[in-house]
Amino acid sequence: MRVGVITFPGTLDDRDAARAVVAGGSEAVLLWHADADLKNVDAVILPGGFSYGDYLRCGAISRFAPVMQLVIEAAGKGMPVLGICNGFQVLCESHLLPGALTRNSDLHFLCRDQEIEIVNNSTPWTTSYKAGEKIVIPLKNGEGSFQCDDKTLAELEGEGRIIARYVGQNPNGSRNLIAGITNARGNVVGLMPHPEHAINELTGPSAQGLGFFTSILNAMVK
Amino acid sequence: MAKIVVDVMLKPEILDPQGNAVASALPRLGFSFAKSVRQGKRFEIEVEGEPTAAQLAEVEKAAEVLLSNPVIENYVVRVEK
């Protein structure tokens, strides 16, 4: 299975994301923001970093990159899309996901190992986990506070669209401890912490992030 | 030359940690006037001559699509002489 990993100017985590895709058993296909071609990928990952320098708002400029027009179209047809950290911000700015990521409530850039609970294991990116499973993966961002209006929050809660929550103290002021959400169809997932940095205990706090990448292989093989 | 100004502010219900940090820094410097502070963005757009109604309509559109994120922010477009 071919999983695309998009590099924008300022993206940092594309190499780790591609490595995680391979570790999960799929082929990683590197995509460039200016590409007008998704190279026949079966799924797409928008990795973390500071695309376009986070100018204006995180993800605001990336949304208009040529490759994103194709991603938005493909996501509308059901292609699995995972946005991690800055990728999550891009998905919100693209209106593929509701809400917005704002400045951490204490203003600090956080970089730490964070426990999260996988709440929804029915998306193509989370089937390798058990519902309620707790994993520890890195969280590193300055603008990770998930905000939305009350109506949207009620929808996310009511429709089971919160896919992961922070465990313990709220690290960034996100509403309802939201670490990740999915769209109504369930194919687009945004996640603030970084599973791609936790696929091997030698280089990460755990190997518990690998499940996102084995999930996508299973989802596509079915 | 006229300037079109777009002020972008977080919606009142959205937490503004930067504004709060400024509000708590002011009294430390001896300024006691502030009950609260909200921080926003200001865009200054120069156009040739007087802005036309069509230009202002375009700026409104750009403010909606790019300059602000309507999920969390409000904007106001005005002309400054």
Domain count of the fold of chain B? 1
Give the pLDDT of residue A220: 83
The most distant pair of C-alpha atoms in chain B lies apart, rounded to whole Å, by 47
Chain B CB within 8 Å of residue A98 CB? yes
Query: Which chain A residues contact residue B14 at CB under 8 A?
Result: 102, 147
Closest chain B residue to A64, measured at CA: B66
Rg of chain A over all Cα atoms, to the nearest angstrom: 15
Q: What percent of chain B has pLDDT over 70?
A: 100
Give the pLDDT of residue A173: 95
Question: What's the domain range around B56?
Answer: 3-80
Q: How far apart are CA A84 and CA A140, in angstroms?
A: 11
Q: Is A33 a catalytic residue?
A: no
Contact status, residue B45 vs residue B51, Cβ threshold 8 Å: no
Domain count of the fold of chain A? 1
Give the pLDDT of residue B30: 96
Give the mean pLDDT of B43-67. 95
How many residues are given for chain B?
A: 81
Distances (CA, A) of B42 to A64, A76, B8, B47: 22, 34, 6, 16
Chain B CB within 8 Å of residue A154 CB? no
State which residues of chain A have pLDDT below 70. Answer: none
Cβ of A105 within 8 Å of Cβ of B15? The answer is yes
Give the pLDDT of residue A99: 96
**A119-164 per-position pLDDT tens digit:** 999 999 999 999 999 999 999 999 999 999 999 999 999 999 999 9
Closest chain A residue to B67, measured at CA: A56
Give the pLDDT of residue B81: 79
Cβ of A103 within 8 Å of Cβ of B71? The answer is no
> Of A93, A115, A196, A197, which one is the catalytic site residue?
A196
Q: Is A197 a catalytic residue?
A: no
Give the pLDDT of residue B59: 97
Give the pLDDT of residue A104: 95
Rounded to a whole number, what is the distance in Å from the CA of A96 to chain B's nearest CA? 13
**B6-17 per-position pLDDT tens digit:** 999 999 989 899
Cβ of A98 within 8 Å of Cβ of B71? The answer is yes
Question: What's the domain range around A137?
Answer: 2-221
pLDDT of residue B1 exceeding 90: no
Q: How far apart are CA B11 and CA B43, in angstroms?
A: 17
Give the pLDDT of residue A176: 97
Q: What is the CATH number of the domain that holds B74?
A: 3.30.1280.10
Q: What is the CATH number of the domain that holds A72?
A: 3.40.50.880
Q: Is A194 a catalytic residue?
A: yes
Rounded to a whole number, what is the distance in Å from the CA of A28 to chain B's nearest CA? 31
Give the pLDDT of residue B2: 85
Give the pLDDT of residue B38: 97
Rounded to a whole number, what is the distance in Å from the CA of B72 to chain A's nearest CA? 7
- Could you tell me which residues are beta bridge partners of residue A25? none
Residue A199 sits at φ, ψ, to 5 deg, of -115, 0
Q: How many CB atoms lie within 10 A of CB A155?
A: 14
Distances (CA, A) of A21 to A12, A181, B48: 16, 20, 51
Helix, strand or coil, per DSSP, at residue B13:
coil
Chain A CB within 8 Å of residue B66 CB? yes
Give the pLDDT of residue A82: 98
